[in-house]
Structure 1
Amino acid sequence: MGNCLGSPAQSTTGTSNYYSNTTGSSNVSSNAEFWEAVGAESAEADGQILETPKLKVFTFSDLKRATRDFNSEHLLGEGGFGKVYKGWLDEKTLAPSKMGTGMAVAIKKLNPESVQGFDEWQSEVNFLARLSHPNLVRLLGYCWEDKELLLVYEFMQKGSLENHLFRRINSIQPLSWEKRLKIAIGAARGLAFLHTSDKQVIYRDFKASNILLDLSYNAKIADFGLAKVGPSGGKSHVTTRVMGTSGYAAPEYVATGRLYVQSDVYGFGVVLLELFTGRRAVDSRRPSGQQILVEWAKPFLSRREKLKNIIDPRMEGQYSFKAALQTAQLTLKCLSNDIRNRPSMNEVVEALERIQTMTVKTKESTARKSLHHLVPSRHGHPRAHYHHPLHMGLHAT
């Protein structure tokens, strides 16, 4: 879940920041009763997507068996909401199955002492039960028995983007430029879908730990505990208590509590900057003046001669200068202090797709030139040494 603003982002313990929001699932007598209980506004939150929620109602004993009694060996992550475990269900019936057989799932178990846990758990169910998109994590079901609240999601094998960017784990290879573009595009499509649905949804807590990756590095947005139905009746914003994570929240929201669709665009810009630089949005371990990523990086983004100084060195040689420059310009637009100057998420998707196409064409062109150098001369010797495109450094196109 998100944190109240004013303190740095909290890192979770456990093997990953997996589904870092509150969680819950319930066992009630019927879905109809459940939706009546969570309120009219929630039930209308996304009418045009799925008319009827299609969720499995699990018993608590089901989920105990699926996780081997919530065995610590299957812990995926932990935060203020409680803990997330890996479990196994039969693919067809969703009944508990033997460990390692059937379908792996992620099960969030709410900490009964969580102050805002139920509200955020409820929001999570309200939105994910009805929103269906390839770039949103899929909610399979819930359990609500007495004080036990749990949620059951599809399992994302590669964990969170945060782990891949910031955790120095031997088993995790640094993300390539191409993978980072792919992840950014997937996450942008998810946000664009939320913003353009009949009932606009403002996500409100967009950050690297809430972007999960499957085996092919397809990105899916998770954790809808802070999501809000967007403005209606000609209004430009909704006013709400300021919640989220320091370093990601838009300045107008922090200052006034006014939440705009464009506030999500700012958060996306921060994540895009993290992908670009390999640095955290907030890092107290860095020298003074470098701890708030946006404040430190903005001057570099606007000066092409300084741009290379902030790009993650782990991507050296994997991108063209033109692609890097266009990414920097897009990031700057997303991070504009004036919401009117921020692009829509549909425009962000289009811009990232153009950069991706440019990257592919540059790679193909470089590969063709390299192969040309391998063609034997009339004397049977290669014309030149082969240079792999990843070793060619930053180059203009």
Structure 2
Amino acid sequence: MARKKSVPDMFDVVIAGGGYVGLSLAVALKQGDAGLTCAVVDPKPMEDLHKDPRASAIAAAASRMLSQLGIWQKIAGEAQPINEMIVTDSKLRDAVRPVFLTFGGEATEGEPFAHMMPNGVMMPALYKAAKALGVSFFAPGTAETFRTHPDHVELVLEDETLLKSRLLVAADGVRSRLRDLAGIRTVNWDYGQSGIVTTVKHERPHNGRAEEHFLPAGPFAILPLPGNRSSLVWTEKTADADRLVRSDDFTFELELERRFGHHLGTLELDGPRRAYPLGLKLARDFVKPRFALIGDAAHGIHPIAGQGLNLGFKDVAALAEVLVDARRLGQDLGGFDVLERYQRWRRFDTFQMGVVTDVLNRLFSNDNDVLRAMRDFGLGIVDRMPGLKTQFIKEAAGFAGPVPKLLSGEPI
């Protein structure tokens, strides 16, 4: 066996995963303490980040964090504010889809509760900021295995490069290899659904309105993008989703129109279509000695509430605050007592959101007339209670519960 290549420096933090969550953690740590040494490992070339055709919903709290990190100011011109949201509940064959619930789009006066942001805009901005702050990158680079020692952890990459750090953070997605290697068990089940993600152009303007149509197979979300364009998150049974993704454009667009409707005029596909299996996966532990999970590695939830990415940003803000505070106090960044503070902060909130999305999906993704009548009655009641709607908007905006400083727009 070839001898492992060793990187001479001992990093304070090594982050496995260069997506939104991993990159934003690297930026937050370096801005919180410029002397902290940080590295990011990712199997994809960082230079290809601009090629991601998808878009993401960024809650108001997350945009405050990105503003504090100096990112939002550079990309805000590419964001689409969500000014309004409507919720319908019907069968696919119904000629009319009555609106049961409407939300105004402001978390606070003049601040939309969310924006839609193209991935190909935000990811490169995060990468450039991290590079400018002195974050080291090993990309492409695949984390192969790691070993924990009393005072550090060793991460071995696929090319046998050896990285040493005080703390290893796994931000490597819902199928996290490092989580499994750490022996962290998960609560998980498969919904038998897949989410089709694509982008469409339409003839008429959306005026910043988001729509969530609850259909028997699952939610069909229309999320506004800049211009006369929208991002779709279309839930179907897995077999049907695979069939639709493999179908020709004519068949796909025909099925799309049945769900989308004609209120925005003629539709045209404006990007690739992909299907992603949906399930619930919650890590039983978020930390081990010298090891922490963030983002989808810690929690994979149903997109019905649009909170998956924003849960990851909450992880970033909480972990960055805990680590920077610990460093100022001269504490060991990888010590279990330090990491346990992060776990206490984030685990309950995550499990709570996982349960909420699971219940919502089971309640709405069916064709039971009795359940439909009950849930539509409930939606109507909520629509008539401004105080409860305000609380829902606060939750969607990311301001519910103990909020880390970055999510309030404050420096660490």
Which category describes the TM-score, using the shorter chain as reference length?
under 0.3
Give the TM-score of the pair, scaled to structure 1: 0.25
1 or 2, which has the higher strand percentage? Answer: 2
Higher relative contact order (Cα pairs below 8 Å, separated by 6+ residues): 2
Give the TM-score of the pair, scaled to structure 2: 0.25
Instruction: Tell me which structure has the larger Cα radius of gyration.
Output: 1
